[in-house]
């Protein structure tokens, strides 16, 4: 994946995370959104983040492997993904 592709992917992810879940639901069905996320964003996290952020010894005590991909699942899930987005935007991770 090129730097430009990563930048675009992260920008899209940031928009998803910071957008209101209700307005996102109006654009596509929740199932379509979740499938898109799983196909385009989830692989990035598995390649670059999950090795260090999984299980009982997860760095920063943040278990990315257990985090639900469905942003509308709960406000806590959305907040956790906002933390991820913030770290990516600041360049602190990966």
Q: With contact defined as beta carbons under 8 Å apart, do 89 and 10 qualify?
A: yes
Angstrom CA distances, 4 to 18, 39, 59, 84, 88, stand at 21, 18, 27, 19, 14
Residue 33, pLDDT score: 73
Better-scored residue on pLDDT, 59 or 8: 59
Residue 89, pLDDT score: 82
What are 30-85's pLDDT values in tens digits? Answer: 677 778 777 877 888 888 888 889 988 889 888 888 888 877 778 888 888 888 88
Better-scored residue on pLDDT, 1 or 69: 69
Q: Could you tell me where the DSSP H helices lie in 49-93?
A: 75-90
Locate the domains of the chain by residue range: 3-90
Better-scored residue on pLDDT, 59 or 17: 59
């Amino acid at each position: 994946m090129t730097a430009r592709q990563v930048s675009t992917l992260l920008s899209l992810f940031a928009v998803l995370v910071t957008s209101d879940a209700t307005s996102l639901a109006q654009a596509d069905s929740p199932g379509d959104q979740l499938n898109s996320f799983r196909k385009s964003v989830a692989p990035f996290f598995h390649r670059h983040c999950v090795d260090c952020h999984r299980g009982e010894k997860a760095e920063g005590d943040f278990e990315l492997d257990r985090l639900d991909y469905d942003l509308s699942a709960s406000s806590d899930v959305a907040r956790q993904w906002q933390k991820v987005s913030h770290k990516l935007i600041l360049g602190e991770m990966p």
